[in-house]
Structures are given as C-alpha cells and as structure tokens.
C-alpha cells in the first residue's frame, strides 16, 4: 500500500506489463478526512460518471452519507484504478447548494414550490401546445449523463407518446460524430474494439484525443504498457503538447481544422507502400477504388503545406500505422468538433479497413465517447436516432417499434431524421418550439455563441424547464426548475465507450425533495395520461428494473442486444460488454471478428450521408452501393475551415478540457481538491506568439472573436504558433454576475465560438475560430493553469500543481502474479 498526492500525480504508480499479459491490479481508494475503512457501513457498486471510461467503483457510505470511493479490482475496465475526478468529485453530491425543491418563476423570480404545482404547470402547457400547434411545439434537450432506463423512457414519451421529432442530447456536442462515423463505415453505431486492445497493440494512434487528461485510467493502461517490455509505439495528432504528444514516438501538430488533409496523406502513404490487406478489402469492403483515387491527390508534401507539419514526420507516422501488426486507434474531439468531423473520423475507420485490422486482439478502432452514458443516449433513441439503433428511414424498423409500443406507425415521427439540437435551438429562436425541457445539461455554458443562446433561452414565449442537481446558468433562465437525484442517489445502468454495461446502485437518499429523472419522466407521462392505441398506459413500467426490462425487449435482435443482461447478472458479474443475448451470454469483447457487419440494407441503422453536404443517402442508392452488407470506405476531399484567421483576427482559437474539471464544473468545482488545482480560466499561447505580442506568463489578456470576448491570464506553453487554447469549463454560476458575463468581459469560452456544424453529424465546431489577442495588463503571478498536462508552462520557475494531504489516495497494488513483471 502506498499513498500518493493524486492531484500532483494524477496517474499514480506504474504497474508495468507486456504484450498479451493481463493488466495488473491496483486498487485506488480515497475517503474523507478522518474516515477509515473500518468506519464504512456499506460499499455500494457503481461506475465512474465524470468521463466515458466506465471505471468500476464502490461508493463508501457512512451514516447515510457518501464518504469516499474505491476502485473495483475485478472490473474489466479499470482493474481497481480511479482517476482524480472520481477520487474527489463525489463530494459534490453532499454540497449544501443542491436543489432540494422545485422552483417556478413568479414575477420574474424563481420561487420554491411543490411538485404538484411544478408538474401541473408543465402538463397544462404541454396540453395547450398540443391542441394549438401539435407535437412540433415540444422539444427535449437531454444529456449523456442519465441512465439507460431514463433515456428509454424519455424516448418513448417523445417519439411514441407525444409524437415530436424534437428530441436530442448534448451528445450532439459530444459524440454525434462517433455515431455518424461508425454508421458510415459499418452501417451501425457500436465500437468495434475493446479496451483490452491496449494489452495487445504494438502501435496506438490517438487522433485529437488527449486521453491522458480525459480518460486518465485508460491512459494509466497505456503508460503501464509503455513502462513494460516490448511497448507499443504511439502516434499523436494534436496541435497541443499534451501528455499524449510527449509520450508519442511521432507527434503531428497540425493547424487546427486540417485533419482531413492529414488523414488523406497518411492513407496516401499506406496505399503507395502497399501496406494494405487486399484479401480483406476484396472480401469485406466496398469503396476502395474511390479512396485510392481521392488520396492519390494528397502526397505528404501537400498535406505538409496545408497542415504545417513536416512531410517527413507524416511519412514516419504512416510507417508506424502501415507496418504495425496490431494497431489500435482512438478518435475524439480534436476530430469531432470540426467542420469536417465525420469526413475525418471516417478516414480512421478507412485506415483499419485498408489494413484489415478489426475484430482481432490489439486491432480496434475506438470512436470514443466522452460522457459516461452517451452510448445509452444513442442506443435508447434520445439523441436523434430511434431506439435499438433502428433506422428512421426504414419503414420496417418503424413498424417494429410501433408494434412494441402498441401505437400506430404514423404516431412515430419518421418523415425526416430526428431534429438535431442546433436546429432545435433555431426553432426555439423562431418561436415554433414553445416548450423546451432541458435535462442534465447546461447549454447556457456548453453551446456555441453564448450571447445568442442566452437570448434564445430567455424569450418570454418559451416555457423553459430545467432538470438539474444545481441552480446552473441555464436553470437561472428557466421558468420551472426540477431538482433531480444524481449518481449514487438512484439506480440504473450505463454503458461506457467499449460497450461495457454497469449497474449503478443507489447508495444514499437524494437531498430534500429531489427525485430521480426516471421518476420525473414517469410522473409526466402519467399526468399527461399518455396512452397506446388501445387506450392503455403507454408506459408500462414503474421503476428502474422494470424500465430496464422494457429496454431489453426493445433491443432484442438488434446490434446492441441487452436481452442476456439483467440486474441480477450485472450485480453478480460487474461490467459486461454488449451484445449480450442468447448466443453471447457472457457478452462480446470485439465486434466484426468474422468480417461481417450490420450494414445489410434491411438491418443497418443508417443509409449514410454525403460527407461533404450531409444529404442523406436514399435507400435505393444504398442498396445498389452495398447490397450484401459489407463495410463501406468513403473518401473525402479536404475543405478549409469556414472561419480563417485574417489581419484583424490573426489567431486560431481552440477550446477543450483540463484534467481536473468536468465540463461546466457543477461537480468538480464543488470538490475542493479539484477546484484548487484549476481555480480560474486561462488562455494558452506559444512562446513566440507571447514574445511578439509582448505578453508574459500570467499577464491579463483579452481574447476576442466576432461573437464576444473572454478575459483571462496568459499561460505560455509549447502549443503550436498561431493557436490559442481556452478551457471551456468556466461559466458564471460562481461569479458575482450569475448567469451572464460581467461588465468587463466574459469567462466562458463559448462567448467566442461560432454557430456552425459538421454537415454529416451536425456536431458543432468548437475547435476552430479566428481570434484576436490583446494584453490588458500584468497579472498577479503565473496563470492559474495546471502545470500537469497540456497547460504545463514552457519554461521553468512555476510551482507545480499539488493537492497536499487532502488529495492523497491509497494505492493498493495487487499481489505480484503472472503478467506483472515487477
Ligand atoms: N478531465 C476531463 N475529462 C473528461 C471531460 C472533462 O470535461 N474533463 N469530458 C468528457 C467528455 S464529455 C469528452 S467529449 C471527452 C473529450 O476528450 P478529448 O477529446 O480528449 O478532450 P478535448 O480537450 O476536448 O480535445 C482533445 C484535443 O483536441 C485537440 N485539438 C483541437 N483542435 C484540433 C484539430 O484541429 N485537430 C486535432 N487533431 N486535434 C485538435 C486539442 O488540442 C485537445 O488536446 O473527455 C471526457 N473526459
Ligand atoms: N467550447 C466548447 N464547448 C463545449 C465543448 C468543448 O470542447 N468546447 N465540449 C462539448 C461537449 S463534448 C460536451 S459533452 C458538452 C457538455 O456540456 P454540458 O452537458 O452542458 O455540461 P455539464 O456541466 O456536464 O452539464 C451537465 C448538467 O447536468 C447536471 N447533472 C448531473 N447529473 C445529473 C442527473 O443525474 N440528473 C440531472 N437531471 N442532472 C444531472 C449537472 O449538474 C450539470 O448541470 O459541452 C460541449 N461544449
Ligand atoms: Mo463530451
């Protein structure tokens, strides 16, 4: 057993291992000051909720309160480890400023009320709008942070009960592109690979993914391989000096927004050197010829000019990707939050198809998720898809759902793809959506172009319902605020990025009158008397387990088959990967092991889209292109980002994350160790840019775009020249001004970002905008940015980020065993 300051050392102690060996166990525990393991009354199983990794953990309960957490040694995902956000973030549950009663707006102010009053107002307005305008007046904006049971219930209410097409999640901002890219290439959502591919890979490529800071436990697995015998070679594609970039054999730091040009050059090299698996392509894939023609136009020298990366380095990366025997790739927001998001992400799938590297140990693609339960938002049909990965454009799929729900097929909107979030916002702006119900997300900080978002959400004619744990910036704009129970206070299941399903059990009661999201949605359906076509209640379940059973039934025979899972099995066995049905009672480690895909025209989730225009492919067209259900290679030309730097706005602005905070900080700012590690917003810029602008470390600066401005302290790093980075975690709830910027400028990165999205996935572009930078004056010492991670200062002389005794966690290394060389 050892104790470590896990703010200063986020990844903890190394436990090296070699290829094909099993990852050694290390159990991480953090308990509140003064609490010992003997004091703990119960350990309640769950999984981590502050990223998509799905680390198995137990919540320590003492006297009805959460007092700490411990990783689960036997969990397939983390083998006992936890990251800093999970070790400390649970403290937010017990925060004194949790919402405990419903609030309604009276005379301009939010005042406390009871559940009947709040729910009756929502139900009355719903009825009025249905009568006056029909279901298109109702919109739902949900999240990637509830449980499967809750999404499924919301999906049935919206699609089957109300008949509105306007249901989407913040997953649109997050992993819409992951889903879109998987659908384009394999006909269906669902990660081909598994985290265990890290144990086998001899090369790992991370495309726009700062795994070290955003999936700390998965990065521990990579670090342990790097510290062991025969380590894998890493390729990193990221304009910032992330820990991934520092650990990489080859780091490509492209100009933001140029991923497609870079990918095309990498594929050009792979084809030119004949590093391709012709048998695999002939048997299992369509579309190779088009790709070959397309990438012929992208020699490394061309990409080198577009991306401003040395051609030799592109060749070096291509050699690793092209000659690896077991290649694992991961893709995340550096690719997804861009103007050619799907086009770029699909090229990573193409790389694996070219090399026949799918469905074998070490050969996976992880089109990553970000949020803990984003996979469920997508599966359960709460994000702009129909549940069970059903195809809205396939009448047989809609009929199947109609049978399951006992409603008429016409009741389920399928005249067009479900409305994407940015379009919903437009409908609110124009006044056709009059009731917007926001659950588990904070759009007044997380959506692009916040000045517009605030004005859209605060319109008089809109009834805005916000269901949250805290009075967020969005809740402050609401007409009705519903207090929700969170993780640890309710039971349900959720699925991580490698398809591992965990049961998360209720450990403690929610505060005050807060209720689970499931109970709130069920109550709404009951009060509205939503009925099936025989006049019976549409919703036939009443609690988490019965909701899960209904969802299992919906998933039957579909790629995400849950029928072999159940609460009892999940309790007994911990995390299990779907599909899990009659043929696969133990779950499924890797998809597509036999080169068979779910892309058959009758079976597939989507017929795909044109990557450049986003236009949906017609069913007949798809049938002609892919009659026998093979994987699909789609090529794309590079197009420049829409907003380019000019004299007035000479920098490219990108936004993203730091290790210590989660999103809009509603949880992590309420955990003292995490908040202290990254207390205020900052802006990163390069050594040369700082020198030419006369800016020194810690100076107070203003970043401005045509949308707005942010004021922050400058952190000088090894980021590439011409690029500014602002973390998007800092809104206004913990400032004097509340929901809006102060008189001297903003703090939220999204004051700066633009209203624009990828044509295929409709995911907004958070990672390219043209910006100006101006020095305002000296700061009070170095910027408040962590020294750990991508925000590490370029020069010496700045104290390292530490947590001190309060941030210590126990690390219990498992017994040395085979596979553990130390
Ligand atoms: N600590 C922490 N962890 C989290 C979260 C969190 O808020 N905090 N959120 C979770 C969620 S929901 C998500 S979606 C994930 C996101 O996880 P990541 O995608 O890893 O995080 P980001 O910081 O948004 O972006 C990743 C990288 O993209 C790079 N990038 C920017 N522009 C470009 C470009 O044009 N090309 C390339 N190749 N790279 C570019 C940035 O420099 C950045 O390092 O993290 C999850 N985990
Ligand atoms: N500029 C910029 N903007 C971005 C990004 C970026 O990289 N740059 N990333 C985007 C991405 S990937 C994401 S995922 C989004 C995240 O953006 P948001 O979803 O807006 O951010 P969160 O802070 O996670 O908001 C979740 C809310 O749900 C509440 N909550 C937590 N658990 C529960 C629960 O069980 N029930 C209910 N009802 N509420 C709950 C929390 O208190 C919080 O207010 O931001 C996006 N916006
Ligand atoms: Mo996300």
> What residue owns the CA closest to ligand 2's atom 11?
174
* pLDDT at position 350 over 60: yes
Which atom of ligand 2 lies closest to the CA of 374? 14
What mean pLDDT comes out for the span 596-607? 96
Q: For residue 372, how many C-alpha atoms fall within 13 Å in the half-sphere facing its CB?
A: 25
**Is the beta carbon of 237 within 6 A of some atom in ligand 1?**
yes
574/582 Cα distance (integer angstroms): 19
pLDDT at 745: 85
Q: What is the pLDDT of residues 114-147, one digit of tens each?
A: 999 999 999 999 999 999 999 999 999 999 999 9
**Is the beta carbon of 663 within 6 A of some atom in ligand 1?**
yes
610/184 Cα distance (integer angstroms): 9
Give me the residue spans of the domains in the chain: 103-174+373-577, 176-368+607-632, 651-791
> What residue owns the CA closest to ligand 1's atom 32?
334
> What residue owns the CA closest to ligand 2's atom 7?
656
* pLDDT at position 308 over 90: yes
Domain 176-368+607-632: CATH superfamily is Dimethylsulfoxide Reductase, domain 2 (3.40.228.10)
* pLDDT at position 819 over 70: no
> What residue owns the CA closest to ligand 2's atom 6?
656
Only one residue has tokens 């990967």, namely 577
Q: What is the pLDDT of residues 395-426, one digit of tens each?
A: 999 999 999 999 999 999 998 899 999 999 99
Which of the listed residues 332, 340, 729 should we mutate to test ligand 1's pocket, taking the one with most ligand atoms within 8 A of CB? 332
Q: Residue 440 C-alpha to ligand 2 middle, in angstroms? A: 7
Strands, E, within 48-152: which ranges?
A: 56-62, 65-71, 103-106, 109-112, 138-142
pLDDT at 656: 98
Q: Where are the alpha helices (DSSP H) in 406-477?
A: 421-430, 443-446, 450-457
Percent with pLDDT over 70 in the chain = 99
Q: Residue 333 C-alpha to ligand 3 middle, in angstroms? A: 8
CA distances (Å), 149 to each of 9, 38, 153, 501, 627, in order?
A: 36, 34, 6, 12, 35
Other Cβ atoms less than 10 A from the Cβ of 555: the count is: 25
Query: Which among 133, 228, 497, 555 has a CA at the least distance from the CA of 379?
Result: 555
Q: Are strands 2-5 and 500-504 parallel, antiparallel or unpaired?
A: unpaired
707/701 Cα distance (integer angstroms): 17
Which atom of ligand 1 lies closest to the CA of 728? 7
**Which residues contact ligand 2 via a Cβ below 6 A?**
143-146, 170, 173-174, 333, 337, 370-371, 439-443, 446, 467-470, 472, 484, 486-487, 517, 655-656, 663-664, 666, 728, 749-750, 753, 766
> What residue owns the CA closest to ligand 2's atom 25?
441
Q: Residue 575 C-alpha to ligand 2 middle, in angstroms? A: 24
Strands, E, within 440-580: which ranges?
A: 463-468, 480-483, 492-495, 500-504, 576-577
CATH class (in words) of the domain with range 651-791? mainly beta
Other Cβ atoms less than 10 A from the Cβ of 126: the count is: 22
Helix axes 544-555, 148-155, angle to 10 degrees: 70
**Is the beta carbon of 375 within 6 A of some atom in ligand 1?**
no
Which atom of ligand 2 lies closest to the CA of 447? 47
Question: Taken in order 742, 746, 748, 750, is the CA torsion positive or negative?
Answer: positive
Only one residue has tokens 């990557």, namely 611
558/511 Cα distance (integer angstroms): 38
Q: What is the pLDDT of residues 36-55, one digit of tens each?
A: 999 999 999 999 999 999 99
Peptide bond into 606 cis (omega under 30): no
Other Cβ atoms less than 10 A from the Cβ of 813: the count is: 16
Q: Mention every residue, 6+ apart, whose C-beta is less than 8 A from residue 526.
A: 537, 539
Q: Longest Cα pair distance anywhere in the chain, in angstroms? A: 73
Q: Residue 687 C-alpha to ligand 3 middle, in angstroms? A: 30
Q: Residue 374 C-alpha to ligand 2 middle, in angstroms? A: 11
Structural element, H or E, at residue 72: none
CA distances (Å), 116 to each of 108, 124, 127, 145, 462, in order?
A: 21, 12, 16, 26, 21
Percent with pLDDT over 90 in the chain = 97
Query: Which among 397, 396, 373 has a CA at the least distance from the CA of 386?
Result: 397
> What residue owns the CA closest to ligand 2's atom 24?
663
* pLDDT at position 820 over 60: no
Q: Which ligand is nearest to the CA of 655?
A: 2
Task: Please name every residue paired with 771 in a beta bridge, in sequence order, or none if there are none.
Answer: 651
pLDDT at 816: 52
> What residue owns the CA closest to ligand 1's atom 24?
656
196/189 Cα distance (integer angstroms): 20
Record the tokens describing residue 265, joined without a space: 């050059």
Q: Where are the alpha helices (DSSP H) in 187-258?
A: 197-200, 211-214, 216-226, 243-247
Report residue 744 CA to chain centroid gap: 32
Q: Residue 38 C-alpha to ligand 1 middle, in angstroms? A: 39
**Is the beta carbon of 659 within 6 A of some atom in ligand 1?**
yes
544/550 Cα distance (integer angstroms): 10
Q: Residue 370 C-alpha to ligand 3 middle, in angstroms? A: 4
**Is the beta carbon of 259 within 6 A of some atom in ligand 1?**
yes
Query: Which among 684, 718, 719 has a CA at the least distance from the CA of 698?
Result: 684
Q: Which ligand is nearest to the CA of 516?
A: 2
Average pLDDT, the chain: 97
Residue 205 near residue 367 (C-beta atoms within 8 A): no
Helices and strands (H and E) in the chain: how many: 27, 29
Q: Residue 663 C-alpha to ligand 2 middle, in angstroms? A: 5
Which atom of ligand 2 lies closest to the CA of 143? 19
Which atom of ligand 1 lies closest to the CA of 660? 1
Q: Residue 383 C-alpha to ligand 1 middle, in angstroms? A: 21
Q: Residue 175 C-alpha to ligand 2 middle, in angstroms? A: 13
What mean pLDDT comes out for the span 313-341? 98
> What residue owns the CA closest to ligand 2's atom 3?
446
> What residue owns the CA closest to ligand 1's atom 15?
370
Q: Residue 289 C-alpha to ligand 3 middle, in angstroms? A: 34
pLDDT at 385: 84
Phi, psi of 191 (to 5 degrees): -70, 125
Which atom of ligand 2 lies closest to the CA of 171? 14
Which atom of ligand 2 lies closest to the CA of 484? 38
Query: Which among 210, 261, 275 has a CA at the least distance from the CA of 238?
Result: 210
Q: Which ligand is nearest to the CA of 489?
A: 2
Q: Which ligand is nearest to the CA of 486?
A: 2
Question: Taken in order 303, 309, 315, 318, is the CA torsion positive or negative?
Answer: negative
The CATH number corresponding to 103-174+373-577 among 3.40.50.150, 2.40.30.10, 3.30.460.10, 3.40.50.740 equals 3.40.50.740
Other Cβ atoms less than 10 A from the Cβ of 430: the count is: 9
Q: Could you give the angle at the alpha carbon of 529 between the alpha carbons of 524 and 534, nearest 5°?
A: 140
* pLDDT at position 821 over 60: no
Q: Residue 776 C-alpha to ligand 3 middle, in angstroms? A: 32
Q: Is 62 exposed, middle or buried (0-12, 13-18, 19+ CB in 10 A)?
A: middle
Residue 558 near residue 389 (C-beta atoms within 8 A): yes
CA distances (Å), 174 to each of 52, 498, 501, 605, 667, in order?
A: 11, 16, 20, 20, 18
Q: Where are the alpha helices (DSSP H) in 431-510?
A: 443-446, 450-457
**Is the beta carbon of 786 within 6 A of some atom in ligand 1?**
no
Q: What is the pLDDT of residues 137-174, one digit of tens each?
A: 999 999 999 999 999 999 999 999 999 999 999 999 99
* pLDDT at position 1 over 90: no
């Amino acid at each position: 057993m050892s104790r470590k300051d896990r703010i200063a050392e986020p990844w903890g102690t190394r436990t090296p291992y070699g290829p094909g060996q099993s990852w050694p166990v290390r159990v991480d525990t953090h308990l509140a000051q003064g609490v010992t393991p003997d004091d703990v009354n119960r350990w309640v199983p769950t999984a981590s909720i502050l990223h998509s990794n799905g680390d198995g953990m137990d919540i320590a309960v003492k006297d009805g309160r959460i007092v700490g957490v411990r990783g689960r040694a036997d969990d397939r995902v983390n083998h006992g480890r936890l990251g800093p956000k999970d070790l400390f973030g649970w403290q937010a549950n017990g925060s004194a400023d949790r919402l405990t009663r419903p609030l309604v707006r009276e005379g301009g102010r939010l005042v406390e009320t009871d559940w009947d009053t709040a729910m009756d107002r929502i139900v009355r307005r719903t009825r009025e709008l249905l009568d006056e305008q029909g279901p298109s007046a109702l919109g739902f904006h949900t999240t990637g942070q509830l449980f499967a049971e809750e999404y499924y219930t919301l999906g049935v209410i919206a699609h089957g009960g109300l008949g509105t097409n306007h249901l989407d999640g913040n997953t649109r901002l997050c992993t819409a592109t992951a889903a879109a890219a998987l659908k384009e290439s394999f006909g269906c959502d669902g990660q081909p690979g598994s985290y265990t591919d890290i144990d086998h890979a001899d090369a790992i490529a991370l495309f726009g993914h700062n795994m070290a800071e955003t999936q700390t436990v998965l990065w521990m697995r990579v670090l342990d391989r790097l510290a062991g015998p025969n380590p894998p070679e890493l390729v990193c594609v990221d304009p910032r000096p992330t820990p991934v970039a520092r650990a990489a054999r080859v780091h490509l730091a492209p100009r933001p927004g140029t991923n497609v040009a870079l990918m095309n050059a990498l594929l050009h090299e792979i084809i030119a050197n004949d590093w391709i698996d012709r048998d695999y392509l002939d048997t299992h894939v369509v579309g190779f010829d088009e790709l070959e023609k397309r990438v012929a136009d992208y020699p490394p020298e061309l990409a080198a000019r577009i991306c401003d990366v040395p051609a030799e380095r592109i060749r070096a990366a291509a050699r690793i990707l092209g000659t690896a025997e077991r290649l694992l790739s991961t893709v995340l927001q550096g690719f997804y939050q861009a103007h050619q998001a799907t086009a770029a992400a699909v090229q990573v799938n193409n790389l694996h198809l070219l090399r026949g590297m799918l469905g074998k140990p070490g050969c996976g693609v992880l089109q990553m998720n970000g949020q803990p339960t984003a996979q469920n938002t997508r599966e359960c049909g709460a994000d702009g898809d129909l549940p069970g990965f059903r195809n809205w454009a396939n009448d047989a799929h809609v009929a199947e759902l109609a049978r399951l729900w006992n409603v008429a097929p016409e009741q389920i909107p399928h005249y067009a793809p479900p409305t994407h979030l940015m379009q919903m916002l437009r409908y609110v702006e124009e006044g056709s959506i009059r009731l917007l119900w926001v659950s588990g997300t904070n759009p007044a900080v997380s959506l692009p172009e916040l000045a517009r978002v605030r004005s859209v959400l605060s319109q008089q004619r809109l009834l805005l319902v916000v269901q949250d744990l805290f009075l967020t910036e969005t809740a402050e704009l609401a007409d009705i605020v519903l207090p929700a129970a969170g993780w640890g206070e309710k039971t349900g299941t959720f699925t991580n990025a490698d398809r591992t399903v965990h049961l998360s059990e209720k450990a403690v009661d929610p505060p005050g009158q807060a209720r689970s999201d499931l109970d709130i949605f069920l109550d709404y359906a009951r009060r509205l008397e939503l009925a099936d076509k025989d006049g019976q209640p549409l919703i036939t379940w009443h609690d988490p387990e019965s909701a899960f059973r209904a969802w299992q039934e919906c998933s039957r025979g579909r790629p995400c088959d849950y029928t072999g899972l159940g609460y009892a099995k999940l309790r007994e066995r911990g995390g299990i990967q779907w599909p899990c049905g009659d043929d696969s009672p133990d779950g499924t480690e890797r998809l597509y092991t036999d080169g068979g895909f779910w892309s058959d025209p009758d079976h597939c989730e989507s017929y795909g889209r044109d990557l450049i225009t986003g236009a949906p492919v017609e069913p007949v067209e798809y049938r002609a292109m892919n009659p026998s259900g093979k994987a699909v290679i789609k090529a794309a030309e590079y197009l420049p980002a829409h907003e380019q730097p000019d004299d007035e706005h000479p920098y490219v602005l990108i936004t993203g994350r730091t290790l210590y905070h989660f999103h809009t900080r509603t949880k992590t700012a309420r955990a003292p160790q995490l908040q202290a590690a990254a207390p205020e917003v900052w802006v990163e810029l390069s050594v040369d840019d700082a020198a030419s602008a006369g800016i020194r470390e810690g100076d107070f600066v203003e970043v401005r775009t045509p949308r707005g401005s942010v004021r922050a302290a400058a952190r000088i790093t090894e980021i590439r020249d011409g690029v500014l980075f602002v973390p998007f975690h800092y809104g206004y709830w913990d400032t004097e001004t509340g929901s809006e910027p102060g008189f001297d400028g903003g703090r939220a990165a999204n004051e700066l970002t633009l209203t624009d999205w990828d044509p295929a996935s409709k995911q907004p572009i958070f990672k390219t905008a043209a910006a100006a930078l101006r020095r305002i004056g000296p700061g009070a010492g170095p910027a408040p940015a962590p020294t750990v991670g991508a925000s590490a200062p370029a020069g010496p002389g700045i104290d390292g980020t530490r947590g001190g005794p309060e941030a210590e966690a126990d690390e219990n290394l498992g017994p040395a065993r085979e596979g553990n060389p130390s």
